[in-house]
Amino acid sequence: MIRRAVSAVLGLVALAAFAADAPLPREFTVTPEVIKEVPAYLTQVVVPDATCAAVNGDASLLVVGRKADDEKHLAVFRLDAEGRPVGEPAWIALPKPESLAKNTNYALGLLFHPKLPLLYVWQDITGAPPGRQEKFPDVSQFAEFDHLLTFAINDGALELVQTGARGPGFRCGLNAGTIGLDYAAKNLFVPNAQGETYDEAGIAFYALDEEGLPGDTAEATNDKPVKKPDMMTNIAKGPKKAIRVVLLPKKLRTNHYFPSGAGWFAGSEAILMGGYSGCMVADFHNGGLRQTWFGLPDRVGPCTLAGHPTLPVVYFCLQDNVQLAALSHVNGYITLLPQLATVPAAHFIGLPVVLTKQSRVAIGDAKSLHLFGLRADGKLDGKSERLLLPCAQVRGLAYSEKRERLYVAVDKTN
Amino acid sequence: MRAQTPAAVILSLRRISDLCLSSTAKVEMPEGSQRFFVPQNDVEGVRAWSRKRHLAGQGAVSDFLLRASAALRFQWFFWLRSCRATHFALLLCLISAPLLARTVTLKPEALEAFAVLSESNQINGWAAYNYDYTRYGADTPGAGPGTSYLLRYSLGQIPKGQRITRAEWTIAHNVSSANVSVWRVLADWGLGACFQYRATYPEKLGWSVPGARGKSTDRATNPTATGQFVNGQLLTVNVTPDIEMWYHGAAPNRGWLITFDSFALLHSATHGGQRTKWQLTITYEPE
């Protein structure tokens, strides 16, 4: 009996050791551990109906975009030395033409220039043509709506210096799409450009001038140009804001549905973009932008994407669904096979955000936030936490590596 | 009688018959062997026999035989052995071998690495199908003389201590009549594998010939298997030698390179519902 008992114990120990060392399958299901204590690295700010967020550690600014009927489109928080928001936010209303006064415009994407004191904002507006008009939609009402807004940071305040990406060349009324820079921060990529048909998403990119403003000519071109939208700005408030004609960004078809530009990551040789059912790898080849689409293995739908800033991994997240994928890349080229995590009953939403110091990836959900653990190589480690938050949809996430802090916009205080 | 699973019974017989085959000494039967059944408590008798069979002190094997013999009460085994044991053992081997064999089918979930080697997009390891020179797709695997594939399966599902008896790999294609060659890959490849490089992270390492075409350096001198696609049929090739080598550690498992002599449209091994058609079926049995 003793021998049997000892054998059983040894067997269990061996089994436990084997289980602990068992490699994580490439495709796995994980049930998150619900955490009740808010982690010390997480800072909540109250911005109801948030859609996006960005933080600039050097400028000590946190900006949260929102979608609401009032004129409070951007909440601008100043941060103290510890990275905590100080006082109430300043509110900024985003411009729209008088003809669309009844439509709700909202920020979809925010991006700080990595070196220059600039904030790029991608805004969208409700009132897209109904489904029955898909083949021949009337988009004339959006002719004067500018999607791209460039703000300068002056003494901690944001000042609008340029607008652009106007007209029917861009799709309106979407819930995903943001802006991204290439590796050298010389080209600005914008989302949701209109492809050759009303259903087809395109992308577009501007060359930036020395001041970081979208210039007249993009550096690379696609050999199949499509309809060029009008790029005139519609505001003039200062020397740099004089009405100017900007040739439009070079456009590129994607042969995929909307959205496009649902997250960007710039590798040294190629740029990655989240889009419909996967991501796009775009590289410059013989002067043109060459694209390769990598789809999710089994599912379809809009995917958002974010890259790890230091490790060769990008994460893309199927929206309103249960799957998160971690893909290796080298210099922007997707490589080998994706790691797929399935979280039952999840409804992921918004852009993933990488917490480099905490080795986690954060993704929003309805009334909660998911925090996936990362291994040393940036791949998922199979662990997941879920934090309940007072927010209908957690979309306003931003991480400051300098402050080692994750900012989360919520609808109200706990 | 102690309950025994069929597999355990078969394995017992197999072990005992192996011993019979290796023996030339005269067998002295344990006490009580004249009875047809050994009493369950007659372990000492079997132990005495095992000592004569030089099994004493051989740990698990000896213990296993003792327990198996006593539990199964197969006294008739000793009787048979004294008569024509060798023939009986041979018969047992023949009977038990197929019953002990196990087959595992590795599906794409067992793929641990995959890369496309595209001559027209040489630094992208997922340029599987070129619609035109500006647009490629990863999900639709086109293949041809300029586009080949690297695949590596994990063999972790095969338990240790087995002998590989058969391994067949089904390559799922959609439309084609191309001739296909399956090559064992010799060069180590990993992150960033593409036509030009076998890895690009943390540093760029090239193939000896781009596209892993270097015979005896990037890939084996001769293909492991060849075949021709026939529309409407899946192509299954014999890859037993490679699996044997990898499983026993005679060569590192660096997967296969599939090459094609003309255009082929494959079913994706990584995307979509057809991917389960890619199957690596391995049959093994205890050594």
Report the pLDDT value the prediction gives residue A166, as an integer from 0 to 100.
87
Percent of chain B with pLDDT over 70: 66
Nearest to A314 by CA among A350, A271, A345, A284: A271
Strand partners, B201: none
Asked if A294 lies within 8 A of B125 by C-beta distance, the reply is: no
Residue B160 lies in a domain: yes
Residues B127 and B145 in one domain: yes
Coil, helix or strand at residue A242: coil
Nearest to B183 by CA among B146, B220, B212: B220
A323 and chain B: CB distance < 8 Å anywhere? no
> For residues A199 and A189, what is the distance between their CA atoms, to the nearest angstrom?
20
Residue B1 lies in a domain: no
- Across residues B102-131, what is the average pLDDT? 95
Residues B111 and B234 in one domain: yes
Residues B88 and B183 in one domain: no
Interface test mutation site (partner A, options B191, B194, B198, B268, max chain A beta carbons within 10 A): B191
B200 and chain A: CB distance < 8 Å anywhere? yes
Interface test mutation site (partner B, options A24, A330, A377, max chain B beta carbons within 10 A): A330
- Across residues B204-220, what is the average pLDDT? 98
| A234: Cβ contacts below 8 Å, ≥ 6 apart | A95, A97, A144, A146, A163, A166, A243
Interface test mutation site (partner B, options A29, A290, A314, A327, max chain B beta carbons within 10 A): A290
Q: Would you give the DSSP letter of residue B84?
A: H
Residues of A within 8 A of B275 (CB-CB) are 297
Which residue is listed with tokens 């040894």? A10
> For residues A122 and A110, what is the distance between their CA atoms, to the nearest angstrom?
6
Minimal C-alpha gap between A57 and chain B (Å): 29
Strand partners, B237: B169
Asked if A23 lies within 8 A of B156 by C-beta distance, the reply is: yes
> For residues A243 and A253, what is the distance between their CA atoms, to the nearest angstrom?
29
User: Which member of A27, A255, A336 has the closest CB to residue B191?
Assistant: A336
Report the pLDDT value the prediction gives residue B28, as an integer from 0 to 100.
37
Enclosing H/E stretch for B16: helix B6-22
Q: At residue A37, what are phi and psi to the nearest 5 degrees? A: -85, 130
Q: DSSP states of A253-298 as a string?
A: EEEEPSP--SSEEE-SSEEEEEEBTEEEEEEEETTEEEEEEEE-SS
User: Which member of B137, B193, B272 has the closest CB to residue A335?
Assistant: B193
Is residue B128 within 8 A of residue B121, CB to CB? The reply is no
Report the pLDDT value the prediction gives residue A298, as an integer from 0 to 100.
85
Nearest to A56 by CA among A94, A111, A109: A111
Is residue A316 within 8 A of residue A263, CB to CB? The reply is yes
Q: Which of B83, B99, B115 is the last residue of a domain?
A: B99
Coil, helix or strand at residue A45: strand
Residue B35 has pLDDT above 50, yes or no: no
Residue B31 has pLDDT above 60, yes or no: no
User: Which member of B111, B125, B139 has the closest CB to residue A335?
Assistant: B125
> For residues A103 and A173, what is the distance between their CA atoms, to the nearest angstrom?
10
Residues B129 and B143 in one domain: yes
In tens, the pLDDT along A245-287 reads 355 566 778 888 999 999 999 999 999 999 999 999 999 887 7
Q: Which CATH code fits A26-410?
A: 2.130.10.10
Residues B77 and B133 in one domain: no
Number of domains in chain B: 2
Residues B277 and B237 in one domain: yes
B188 and chain A: CB distance < 8 Å anywhere? no
Strands (E), B80-126: 102-106, 111-118
Residues of B within 8 A of A224 (CB-CB) are 134
Positive or negative, the CA dihedral B22, B23, B29, B35 is positive
Minimal C-alpha gap between A294 and chain B (Å): 5
Report the pLDDT value the prediction gives residue A224, as an integer from 0 to 100.
43
Residues B183 and B95 in one domain: no
Q: Which of B99, B117, B142 is the last residue of a domain?
A: B99
CA dihedral A317, A135, A247, A124 (to 10 degrees): -50
pTM of the model: 0.80
Domain that holds residue B72: 6-99
Coil, helix or strand at residue A5: helix
> Token pair of A186, please?
């010389």
Residues B182 and B239 in one domain: yes
Residues B46 and B143 in one domain: no
Predicted ipTM of the assembly: 0.85
Minimal C-alpha gap between B131 and chain A (Å): 10
Q: Which residues of chain A, if any, have pLDDT below 50?
A: 14-20, 219, 221-245
Q: Which amino acid is at A209?
A: D
Is residue B103 within 8 A of residue B282, CB to CB? The reply is yes
- Across residues B199-226, what is the average pLDDT? 97
User: Which member of A281, A328, A336 has the closest CB to residue B124?
Assistant: A281
Residues of A within 8 A of B136 (CB-CB) are 290-293
B31 and chain A: CB distance < 8 Å anywhere? no
Nearest to A390 by CA among A45, A145, A160: A45
Residues B125 and B227 in one domain: yes
> For residues B11 and A243, what is the distance between their CA atoms, to the nearest angstrom?
88
| A254: Cβ contacts below 8 Å, ≥ 6 apart | A195, A200, A201, A202, A203, A260, A275, A276, A280, A291, A293
Nearest to A165 by CA among A138, A194, A141: A194
| Mean pLDDT computed over every residue of chain B | 79
Nearest to B239 by CA among B256, B218, B214, B254: B256
Interface of B with A in 136-165 (CB under 8 A): 136-139, 156
Q: Which amino acid is at A284?
A: F
| A4: Cβ contacts below 8 Å, ≥ 6 apart | none
> For residues B264 and B275, what is the distance between their CA atoms, to the nearest angstrom?
16
Asked if A222 lies within 8 A of B126 by C-beta distance, the reply is: no
B6 preceded by cis ω (within 30°)?
Answer: no
Residues of B within 8 A of A19 (CB-CB) are none
Asked if B191 lies within 8 A of A331 by C-beta distance, the reply is: no
Within 13 Å, how many C-alpha atoms sit on residue A256's CB side?
30
Residues of A within 8 A of B131 (CB-CB) are 255
> Token pair of B277, please?
């058609």
Asked if B124 lies within 8 A of A331 by C-beta distance, the reply is: no
Report the pLDDT value the prediction gives residue A132, as an integer from 0 to 100.
52
- Across residues B257-279, what is the average pLDDT? 95
Asked if B190 lies within 8 A of A337 by C-beta distance, the reply is: no
Asked if A337 lies within 8 A of B272 by C-beta distance, the reply is: no
Within 13 Å, how many C-alpha atoms sit on residue A266's CB side?
14
Coil, helix or strand at residue A88: strand
Nearest to A403 by CA among A80, A120, A116: A80
In tens, the pLDDT along B45-91 reads 445 444 544 443 444 444 454 455 444 444 445 544 544 555 666 56
Q: Enumerate the domain spans of chain A.
A: 26-410
Residues B251 and B138 in one domain: yes
Residues B125 and B213 in one domain: yes
Q: Which amino acid is at A120?
A: Y
In tens, the pLDDT along B244-255 reads 999 999 999 999
| A158: Cβ contacts below 8 Å, ≥ 6 apart | A61, A63, A74, A76, A90, A92, A119, A151, A152
B106 and chain A: CB distance < 8 Å anywhere? no
B67 and chain A: CB distance < 8 Å anywhere? no
